Chains A and B, each alone.
Chain A
């Protein structure tokens, strides 16, 4: 038994290809990103070492901090919307007819490519022929917004499809977790005369708190590195109003050919993401996680 299952050659054969792949394509690049941040480099020519210049510029760069703030705003909105999804899942999971179908309908936007979603919502936000303004006009709004072209609201306008896209995903996770709550516990509470609200608030929610923490983590980290919709819909514009960390990195490197500075931004993005992962896990940690 032991000799067959500790065959060194087989272990190497099975793990090395995958290990090499993630080392070369994930781990080495993040180290290199920090290193390239020390360079003045246009992406084609030679690199020149300039020390910490890029990182010093980064810390003083107003555009970087405003795009970081935008990323955090998205994280805040996504996390807040989790409460709505939780409420919907509580209703869905309470033995309602058609919950299976509804939950699948909710998930559909999550399956579509960001490009399709972005292009579709650009049409919805179209100032003259879009669905959004026609709806507002129907409700009697006179000065309809120009959505993506208005620096004041462009960022919030993009939040709508992002939140729309992920709603079904979180509802699905909560639904699965709520379905895992043993029926006996609920029945026992009913016998003791607990109301549906008490059952939801005092029993179901504490029992799925572990899953709720995981989703907070997913929402925060996912928001901080968010890129696709913003890149396609506004490219960070108008005038940097909807720029987020990843789109700012992309613009500096692949549009303006500042690959050194872009790497510094990319490294900043990595540090902020890992820091927030750690911070979120610390903030949501509790000593007595409920077990069932």
Chain B
């Protein structure tokens, strides 16, 4: 139907076109200028970071900050990687992130399945508890959590970080999953029940595989949040061997106030994994970020 309508409109538009086109061009040029300027504002600080990570101190302090590096100082990167504990921090970030993401996704899938597919009286209030938790500022929980972990001997233990990440990412993850489960047809699961399938088989062999698309979206969003998280690690972890990249580089950079090249290289190393993920998975990331806020 809409096609027919558009065909009727076309002649009408074409008579107006010649009159408008010049103004339109200026208008569009202006809009592109606006959008382009905004893109430069968003991206240029990062380009500048990459530039100064490849400069010598002489160039940083003696020349315009907008100049290109004269001969790229790749040794800034080897210096950053070898002189600190960056390798250890990097490894910690990877395994803590991955473990927390896996835990969060399994637990959130369990809850979403139980709430949307199974019949029980308290499903509404229980879901409410998870959704309200999204509103609670984590800073208000920090001191009591510190005391709890302290009495459980979990201070300076990465388990405290994994548990905190999982708990605080559950609400958002459940929110995103909920949107998917609600639009998902129940017929296959119902047929499986008729065939005498147990709940566990339905969940693990039917529901979980069917939700893989949304699981990958939530996994990426969780990964970004965990990779970048700062407060929990800064508060609960004190020894270098358990620090993650964000806290590690913050301390490391603080010690090298004057060596901008090494500082820049350290920062670039910390953001490259996320930028790489974005390069290959940008659609999933965009989808996850939009889903988490709009459906919530």
* A and B: bona fide binding partners: yes
The stretch of A52-60, A75-83, A168-176 that contacts the partner chain: A168-176
**A274-B137 Cα distance, complex, nearest whole Å:** 9
Question: How distant is A120 from chain B, measured CB to nearest CB, in Å?
Answer: 5
Query: What residues of chain B lie closer than 8 Å to A131, measured between beta carbons?
Result: 45, 48, 65-66
| B289 pairs with A22, CB closer than 8 A | no
**A246-B138 Cα distance, complex, nearest whole Å:** 10
Query: What residues of chain A lie closer than 8 Å to B126, measured between beta carbons?
Result: 15, 19
- The closest CB in chain A to the CB of B52 belongs to A123
Query: What residues of chain B lie closer than 8 Å to A134, measured between beta carbons?
Result: 64-66
Contact status of A253 and B282, CB under 8 A, knowing A184-B2, A270-B137? no
Query: What residues of chain B lie closer than 8 Å to A263, measured between beta carbons?
Result: 143-144
Query: What residues of chain A lie closer than 8 Å to B61, measured between beta carbons?
Result: 128-129
Query: What residues of chain A lie closer than 8 Å to B34, measured between beta carbons?
Result: 88, 91
**A96-B34 Cα distance, complex, nearest whole Å:** 13
| A112 pairs with B274, CB closer than 8 A | yes
- The closest CB in chain B to the CB of A91 belongs to B31
Q: Is the interface of B mostly helix, strand, loop or mixed?
A: helix
**A213-B101 Cα distance, complex, nearest whole Å:** 30
**A87-B290 Cα distance, complex, nearest whole Å:** 18
| B135 pairs with A274, CB closer than 8 A | yes
Question: On chain A, which size bracket covers the interface?
Answer: 35 or more
Q: Tell me if A1 is interfacial: C-beta within 8 Å of chain B.
A: yes
Query: What residues of chain B lie closer than 8 Å to A91, measured between beta carbons?
Result: 31, 34-35
Chain A window 165-197, contacts with chain B (Cβ cutoff 8 Å), 1 for yes, 0 for no: 001110011001100000110010011000000
**A190-B16 Cα distance, complex, nearest whole Å:** 12
Q: Is the interface of A mostly helix, strand, loop or mixed?
A: helix
Question: How distant is A65 from chain B, measured CB to nearest CB, in Å?
Answer: 18
Q: Tell me if A259 is interfacial: C-beta within 8 Å of chain B.
A: yes
**A24-B33 Cα distance, complex, nearest whole Å:** 52
Query: What residues of chain B lie closer than 8 Å to A270, measured between beta carbons?
Result: 136-137, 140
| B137 pairs with A33, CB closer than 8 A | no
Contact status of A269 and B140, CB under 8 A, knowing A105-B39, A112-B271? yes
**A145-B146 Cα distance, complex, nearest whole Å:** 39
Question: How distant is B248 from chain A, measured CB to nearest CB, in Å?
Answer: 9
The stretch of A149-157, A198-206, A221-229, A284-292 that contacts the partner chain: A221-229
**A274-B117 Cα distance, complex, nearest whole Å:** 31
Query: What residues of chain A lie closer than 8 Å to B115, measured between beta carbons?
Result: 15
Contact status of A27 and B133, CB under 8 A, knowing A106-B39, A113-B227, A120-B45? yes
| A214 pairs with B167, CB closer than 8 A | no
Q: Tell me if A256 is interfacial: C-beta within 8 Å of chain B.
A: no
| A262 pairs with B143, CB closer than 8 A | yes
**A102-B164 Cα distance, complex, nearest whole Å:** 35
Having A25-B163, A112-B271, one finds 7 other A-B pairs with CB under 8 Å, namely: A5-B117, A107-B285, A108-B42, A111-B275, A164-B41, A245-B139, A246-B139
A-B contact pairs, 14 of them (CB 8 A): A5-B118, A6-B118, A29-B141, A107-B286, A115-B246, A119-B249, A119-B267, A184-B2, A187-B6, A218-B293, A221-B135, A225-B138, A232-B230, A273-B140
